[in-house]
A and B are shown apart, each in its own frame.
Chain A
Amino acid sequence: MRTAHPFRLFLVTILVAILAGLSSGARAQTVSEIVPTMADTNLRGLAAAVEALAATGEPQAVAVLEALGAGNLYETADGGIYIRAGSGPIRDAATGETAEGVAPGDLKLIRINNSLRRDIRAAIGNLTLLSDDANVRLRAAREMFGTADPANIELLDEALAEETNPSVRTVMEQARAAAILKTDVSEEEFAAAVAVIAARGDRQALGILNSNLANASEIERVNIEAGIARINQALALQGIGQNVWYGISLGSVLLLAAIGLAITFGVMGVINMAHGEMVMIGAYVTFVVQEIIRTTNPGLFDYSLAIAVPAAFLITGLIGVGIERGIIRWLYGRPLETLLATWGLSLVIQQGVRTIFGATNRDVGNPSYMSGAFEFFGIALTWNRFWIVIFALVVFALLLLVLNKTPLGLQMRAVTQNRRMASAMGIRTPWIDAMTFGLGSGVAGLAGVALSQIDNVSPNLGQGYIIDSFMVVVFGGVGNLWGTLVGAMTLGIANKFLEPYAGAVLAKIVILVLIILFIQRRPRGLFALKGRAVEQ
């Protein structure tokens, strides 16, 4: 069997590198010759192998490069190189055929670093620019736009001659223009390239134009500057749209965190400092649900949130009922004692969770539909934020429905408006109190499921949201759900418009000061309750 002699392999690797460098006339190496050199080598040896693989032009080279880039390329102690994606079959890297008699335990991952990852990406781009699949060609062309290497112009011309897909064609032309700008070309060609880049109209284009501004001639400079001005204008508009979206997204997180409090504090008047802990418990329920799914049925992982939502609502709701029956009902009409008792309770819950689950963060995964981003008129919207905005609005609508259209909602409003009269009408007020508090806590648990997707799942999760929640409820107007919605969105958007100018720290302070001033003017918030309830 082949034993790995590091020195010999090193020599081979060097040879490969030299060959690859000079090989325009010489015989190009084949994949099966290059692959063995990737065993037992260092990062430099791997870089040489990547370059050599790129020069082969064989389809198997793409497979090897992709495996190396994705961390799916393994070596064994006897110098064999294998590809294995996840827990799939083990394949021989040189041939792509299933390898027999190789145990998964013998495989050692070949590790790479960032500069190698860049090389791999560029190499794959070169190898796949003429692929049959339009998506692969598009990816390759984008990669070439990023590297803008003049050495690629010839290949791009070749590809452009055959390209029929308009969107791939556009990107190829842009890649060609970016590369042309780095070479010595006639003024017409330069101007044409600038026009192509400027038409692209995004930040990358702006970067290319900016870096070419310095070495352009007087006439070209005017062209480039016009292009830059046009892009900047478009970007400014996009920036406003982006801030609005970020604001809505932050607002929806605030809304989720505050909406449960809008019931316990807003409707019932209980200053519930343990509200954040209900949110935290909701996040931990998500964690437990995901853990159970991971160990019993990994295929269901994408549905984990759908299972966690009702589970979190029920569990935190029940805990809420327990808190109301056990502690809060003895303290009605004594706000200071309620505040202290619930604050103490929040510490107990935090430390309890810390004892059960440990002090470290827990890993709550994003289902596939919650990760990544999509582009919307040039603004990158991330999926997790998008779904959270939708979720917050749905929760809000459902809550509104429960309060206004169900018997329970009717009784809740009756009890909070005039307890004695409601009691006289035959409503079991203690039971309604418990249900109301349970509903508020359950909604906090729902917020926890959503927040587990964007924040740390740790015992401190709730602490970060309790102040913001009170702020939203007070600002929006105590006792009014619509006020909570408008309050959350206003605070979110104002915060995001301030942040680029003032920084995250100052933006938060400015918002706080503005709220204090606002409360001075309007102590009852944006949407003040009118009528008899106010007098109580």
Chain B
Amino acid sequence: MTDWTKYRNLTLAGLMGASLLSMPVAAQEGEPIKVGILHSLSGTMAISETTLKDTILFMIEQQNAAGGVLGRPLEVVTVDIASDWPLAAELARRLIEVDEVDVVFGCWTSVCRKSVLPVFEELNGLLFYPVQYEGEESQRNVFYTGASPNQQAIPAVDYLMNEEGVERWVLAGTDYVYPQTTNLILEQYLKDAGVAAEDIMINYTPFGHSDWQTIVSDIVAFGSEGKKTAVVSTINGDANVPFYRELGNQGVAAEDIPVVAFSVGEEELSGFDTTPLVGHLAAWNYFMSVDTPENAEFIAAWHDFIGDDSRVTNDPMEAHYIGFNLWVKAVEAAGTTDADAVIDSIVGQETPNLTGGIATMLPNHHITKPVLIGEIQEDGQFFVVWETDGLVEGDAWSDFLPGSMDLIADWTDPINCGNYNTVTETCGGS
């Protein structure tokens, strides 16, 4: 949905600017704008990231069909980071220096983002990062279109506490930075809410863990002491299938011990039979089952593009959809693809999301999102049982951790800082 008047004005401005240099310019002509895709197309993460690459290709095709950006066509440069994080940094450098892309959409894991950050900072590139993450970060060149903990984890815990009356908590996660930080925040949040330390069990497992017998029986034991128990799962993608299978086999029903997951979406569920999982929960900002005209249109167009009606859509795809549209708006507002100009113009840009709300780019480079809690259904889709009243603003620095509660991020003047301390009024952390 292009803003046509603005678009025409910009085209006119572009024409005037170009005619000064006495160069003939028309729509779809001129030098193409290069868009970089920095996702894993092989290795462990290919399972999740291949779809995101396709999403950006899909968005670019649609944008080009609608006349490109600033009257220039978009051209894509795809690289495969092969789930190898040092390689990701190298390829990010190549994208910006050699291929001279104007914007990059990429990464899934936090470690990937952390490895490419210095490159984007040094070369002043733009990165749109589409996955829910642990927060505690805000960088001038990065736009976080996935959820921060206050847009996913905290509302999910609130739902369980208030609606399901949960009193005992199992925080189960894969052993890396996202679950560790999220669980740190959640633990503090629960303790602040009056949950005793002995009512919280924290458990970490290695990547790709497949033998869940001991852990599931521990959870059952923990949950059979007379208090309502729930599992908050930050278990990463691949390990979820055997985890849920073990839950089902040991007879853990969602009515007794619900599991709320932050990394399980439609894509992960398409890998197995969901009958034993019915009723377990997931917290996201988008579900494929959300019934809005925007979503129906997006799904239909996506199925057309990919040529397969059985392909699902998921939350990180919506994040890329929003991120791409925000970038297009920012470039059109700035009239150039220059990184500094786009960074200035993107804050405050708005675009409709797929769940009937508006996503706004905030000064801390996070966006506004609704929070939805869905129950897994037999067809692998989610039934939304709860959602926040309005949109929640992404918070870069958690208010529940001692080290970060005084920090804010604001990339507009006069602060212009990713870790501004509101107490000492200086930039540079706590």
A204 to B223, CA, bound (A): 9
A249 to B238, CA, bound (A): 21
Helix, strand, loop or mixed for chain A's interface? helix
Residues on B with beta carbons closer than 8 Å to the beta carbon of A71: 278, 377-378
Q: Mark A101-132, 1 if CB is under 8 A from B, else 0.
A: 00000000001011101100100000000000
Given A117-B254, A382-B249, A455-B242, also A365-B46 (CB < 8 A): no
B46:A359 contact, CB within 8 angstroms: yes
A208:B273 contact, CB within 8 angstroms: no
Residue of A nearest to B44 (CB): A460
A456:B271 contact, CB within 8 angstroms: yes
A373:B251 contact, CB within 8 angstroms: yes
B226:A208 contact, CB within 8 angstroms: yes
Cβ-defined partner of B385 (8 Å) among A113, A372, A382 = A113
A114:B213 contact, CB within 8 angstroms: no
Cβ-defined partner of A456 (8 Å) among B43, B241, B375 = B241
A51 to B217, CA, bound (A): 33
Number of A-B residue pairs with CB-CB distance less than 8 Å in the complex they form:
145
A210 to B50, CA, bound (A): 50
Cβ-defined partner of B47 (8 Å) among A203, A361, A463, A505 = A361
Counting CB contacts under 8 A, is B209 at the interface?
A: yes
Q: Which of A157-165, A276-284, A478-486, A495-503 contacts B (4 or more CB under 8 A)?
A: A495-503
Q: Mark B42-57, 1 if CB is under 8 A from A, else 0.
A: 1110110010000000
Given A114-B164, A363-B271, A454-B210, also A505-B242 (CB < 8 A): no
Give the distance to chain A from B245, nearest Cβ to Cβ, in Å: 7
Counting CB contacts under 8 A, is A343 at the interface?
A: no
A290 to B209, CA, bound (A): 25
A246 to B217, CA, bound (A): 10
Q: Chain A CB within 10 Å — which of B221, B255, B279 has the most? A: B255
A114 to B374, CA, bound (A): 11
B385:A242 contact, CB within 8 angstroms: no
Cβ-defined partner of A113 (8 Å) among B225, B267, B279 = B279
Count the B residues whose beta carbon is within 8 Å of the partner chain — how many?
A: 55
Residues on B with beta carbons closer than 8 Å to the beta carbon of A382: 213, 246, 249-250
Counting CB contacts under 8 A, is B192 at the interface?
A: no
Cβ-defined partner of A458 (8 Å) among B47, B225, B227 = B47
Given A207-B226, A359-B46, A372-B249, also A505-B204 (CB < 8 A): yes
A210 to B227, CA, bound (A): 10
Counting CB contacts under 8 A, is B110 at the interface?
A: no
A115 to B378, CA, bound (A): 17
Residue of B nearest to A246 (CB): B213
Residues on A with beta carbons closer than 8 Å to the beta carbon of B164: 114-115
Cβ-defined partner of B214 (8 Å) among A111, A363, A454, A496 = A496
Given A111-B377, A361-B271, also A504-B225 (CB < 8 A): no
Given A115-B163, A117-B279, also A503-B210 (CB < 8 A): no
Counting CB contacts under 8 A, is A464 at the interface?
A: yes
Cβ-defined partner of A203 (8 Å) among B163, B209, B220, B385 = B220
Interface residues in A365-384 by Cβ distance below 8 A to B read 365-366, 371-373, 380, 382-384
Residues on A with beta carbons closer than 8 Å to the beta carbon of B270: 360-361, 363
A-B complex: 6 closest residue pairs judged by Cβ atoms: A361-B271, A211-B226, A207-B226, A382-B249, A203-B224, A359-B46
Chain A interface residues (CB < 8 Å from chain B): 43, 71, 111, 113-115, 117-118, 121, 203-204, 206-208, 210-211, 242-243, 246, 249-250, 253, 350-351, 354, 358-366, 371-373, 380, 382-385, 454-460, 463-464, 496, 499-500, 503-505, 508
Q: List 18 A-B contacts (CB under 8 A).
A: A203-B225, A210-B225, A210-B226, A249-B211, A359-B47, A360-B50, A363-B273, A371-B249, A373-B251, A382-B246, A455-B242, A460-B238, A500-B218, A503-B204, A504-B203, A504-B214, A504-B215, A508-B206
5 new A-B contacts at CB < 8 Å, known A117-B254, A211-B225, A459-B46: A203-B221, A249-B211, A359-B41, A366-B245, A382-B213
